[in-house]
Structure 1
Amino acid sequence: MRIGSGVALRVPVRMVWVGLALCVALLAACVATLTVGRLGIALPDLPSALSGNATGVDSFVLDRLRGPRLTVAVAAGAAFGLSGALFQSVTRNPLGSPDVIGLGPGAGAGAALVALLFPDVPVALGALSGALAAMAVVYVSTGSGFRNPSRLVIAGIGVSAMATAFIQYIVYAIERDQATVLSSYLNGSLTARSWDDAATIGVVLLLCVPCAALLSRPLGLSEMGDTTAAALGARPERAFTSAVLLTIVLSAGAVTVAGPISFIALTAPQIVKRITRGSGPHLALSALSGALLLVLADLAAQNAPLFGKLPVGIWTMALGGAYLGYLLLREWRRGAL
């Protein structure tokens, strides 16, 4: 595309169409979430309800049940997708995920500890504390902070193993009622979300998205190699450290409000890469893809005829596990494994 007489502007047309398609699909999934099911709002009444004129049952469903749940699903899914894109760009590994650095298990361990020692404290607060503590241990264990992706992953695997063992002990030790609540959270759940939860993850996105946008160019240059990136004016180590910190904040925020939901961070960026067939981290598209995946998984969790009572995290594990198997099979056929 050319603007004026001498200014050329290259427009990635395929990425624009992919972005529009993801937005339309996400909008359709959101409408389905609000209208499908026994308590769904009638489709003709939805515009009026969204404009603030809902009454009776529709008002209760929109304000107390599905409205907060849907908002948290969109925002948490976007946070997971964005964090996955950042982490995969840093590690240059399509199978990379924030889960492998111990953030999810650390959050689970924090939630478990709160359930055991402080039953009156919100589980989400314990999850946030656990995630931050796990990242502090990883930071110290690498010996070089967050600058070395290989050490980061190795330290994260160790922290994950210890945190998982601790979680299993806590689940065994606490009372049955507490164990039920904790188990639901550890599987990843959007049940009984509130507008406070939506505000929490909204603030996280508001702070992190502009920072991630600033990292898009240096991360894209870094994919060509550190030497080339440095020659073009980027600072790879600074970009990597900043990206890891953003990954931690985004994942911790999402885990705090939705639990350690698996595979969204892994799957969303890879789906985008395969659709766009382009290089670069694709941060915005990965966020849209993550939001769409989590909303669809929650829609299935609420309405599937035989498995409608399962937490959304179990759905994402099943779908993500199948996709991971596809990726491994694809790499094996290419001779990369």
Structure 2
Amino acid sequence: MPPAETERAVITLRAGGLSIRVHPRSLAVGAVLLLIALAVALVNLTTGDFPVPVADVLRSLGGRGDAGTDFIVYQLRLPRVLTTLLVGAALGASGTVFQGLTRNPLGSPDFAGLTVGAASGALIVMLVLGGGGVQVAAGAIIGCVVTSVVIYLLAFRRGTQPFRLVLMGIGVSALLDAANSYLIYRSHLDEAIAAQVWLIGSVNGRTWTEVTIVAVTVVVLLPLVLYYGRHLTMLTLGDEIAVLHGVPVQRSRAVLALAAVGLAAGATAAAGPIAFVALAAPPIAARLSRSPRAGVLPAAAMGAALLTAGDWAAQHALPANDVPVGIVTAALGGVYLSWLLFFQRRNR
């Protein structure tokens, strides 16, 4: 795109000392994706063992429903739907930050080893300490944070290079996978089944506790990612260029990395290590936005749309079976990676 077109495609809003650059197409794409996610979420509220008409669901959400409908909506379905939306948004935002900081399309929490680290923390709580519920969520968050610190320290050598972070993340992920398999192998059958279901990634049976965990994560960390995300494009071009444009490189990178780790940790604590959403959402949003890199909001909206649609598919993929959404996202992720490799091969 010529420079003149690029300038016309960007709107700069100023309020006091704060300046915000808005890309109209990215904003429109994000808004459309959010509407799609909310529409699919509404459909998910109406379907299940007890179908509820859309009008009754809307009346219940507006505080004018009957007791039976309120119970189905607020106790059985709304926690799952909200968990799906928030987890998808957290993974989408986390994925675009990781891909920007590592300058690598595979730089997501999945490949960086963070979700496996969260799984290790959760499995230790479940299979070794005998905890459950909030304790498992806390274990997942601690495991994710500790793993990120270990990967950073192992990859650090006179600074951190993006490719070293990714490679070290893959290596640590393989080691933790082996440890997780050993923990499951040594556990009792019922514990092993419960742990394996958690490792797949699922929003089945989620309660308001999981909604609170991921909601607090998103409300606290997403504004930080949005604010410092202004610098992400410059950081992808290199530290020297970023410094020349007045970007506080070290502070921006540290805040973005910590916020992305926190978003991935909160999402995994609420729904388990759901695969490929953080990997696929940013590049798909970028293609729709016709930009080299996805903005934080379009990527978050795409993540919410992907996971919500995946949950709908998980509920209808097999007759009378509500399969974990992680199975659907893993299948979609495999198709996406195959398509990506094929597309790059054709363009060579």
Superposition TM-score, scaled by structure 2 size: 0.89
Root-mean-square deviation (CA), in Å? 2.2
Residue of structure 1 in register with 2:239 after alignment:
226
Task: Call closer, same or farther: CA 1:145–1:317 in 2, change over 3 Å.
Answer: farther
Alpha-carbon deviation of 1:263? Answer: 0.3
DSSP 3-state at the match of 1:190: coil
- Tell me the alpha carbon deviations over residues 7-60 of structure 1, each in whole angstroms, 9 at most, x when there is no partner: xx9863322331232122112101111112332321121221101233343222
Call closer, same or farther: CA 1:267–1:145 in 2, change over 3 Å. farther
Deviations 1:58-96 (A, max 9, x none): 222212211000011100100000000001111112232
Correspondent of 1:38 among 45, 49, 71? 49
Amino acid at match of 1:68: P
Q: 2:35 aligns with which of 17, 24, 30?
A: 24
Q: Hey, what's the Cα distance between the residues in 1 that align with 2:346 and 2:306?
A: 27
Matched, 1:155 2:142: no
CA spacing shift, 1:115–1:43, aligned 2, 3 Å: same
Q: What is the aligned partner in structure 2 of residue 108 from structure 1? A: 119
Unaligned runs of 5+ in 2: 1-7, 13-19
Query: Is contact 2:201-2:325 (8 Å) kept?
Result: yes
| 1:1-337 paired onto structure 2 within 5 Å | 12-122=23-133, 123-144=136-157, 147-306=160-319, 308-335=321-348
Residues 174 and 274 from structure 1, CA distance in 2 versus in 1: closer, same or farther, beyond 3 angstroms? same
CA distance, structure 1, for counterparts of residue 77 and residue 122 of structure 2: 25
Is the Cα contact below 8 Å between 1:80 and 1:254 reproduced in 2? yes
3-state secondary structure, aligned to 1:98: coil
Deviates more, 1:203-212 or 1:57-66: 57-66
Of the structure 1 ranges 176-185 and 261-270, higher mean CA displacement relative to structure 2 is found in: 176-185
* Moved segments of 4+, more than 6 Å: none
Pairwise CA distance, 1:107: 1.3
Q: Among all aligned residue pairs of Structure 1 and Structure 2, give the percentage whose two residues are the same amino acid.
A: 37
| Counterpart code for 2:62 | S
Aligned-pair CA distance for 1:135? 1.7
Structure 1, 238-247 or 281-290: larger mean CA deviation: 238-247
CA contact under 8 A between 1:264 and 1:290: conserved in structure 2? yes
Checking the alignment, whether the CA contact within 8 Å between 2:102 and 2:165 is kept in structure 1 is no
> Counterpart of 1:221 in structure 2: which amino acid?
M
Partner-residue secondary structure (3-state), 1:38: coil
How many Å separate the matches in 2 of 1:194 and 1:24? 24
Range with bigger deviation, 312-321 or 213-222:
213-222
Q: Distance in 1 between matches of 2:113 and 2:298?
A: 25
- Change in 2 beyond 3 A, CA 1:128/1:146: farther
Paired with 1:324 and 1:272, the residues of 2 have a C-alpha distance of 15
* Contact 1:146–1:241 (CA under 8 A) maintained in structure 2: no
TM-score, normalisation: structure 1: 0.91
- From the superposition, tell whether residues 136 and 145 of structure 1 become closer, same or farther in structure 2 (CA, over 3 Å): farther
Shift of 1:262: 0.5
Residues 215-260 of structure 1, C-alpha deviations (whole Å, 9 max, x = no match)? 1221122233332221111133432232221111100000000000
Q: 1:301 touches 1:312 (CA, 8 Å); kept in 2?
A: yes
DSSP-derived class of the 2:62 partner: helix
Between Structure 1 and Structure 2, how many residues are aligned?
A: 330
Cα distance in 1 for partners of 2:303, 2:34 equals 12
Larger mean Cα displacement after TM superposition, 172-181 or 118-127? 118-127
Q: Which runs of no fewer than 5 residues in structure 1 stay unpaired?
A: 4-8
The range that moved more, 258-267 or 60-69, is 60-69
Conserved 8 A contact 1:219-1:280:
no
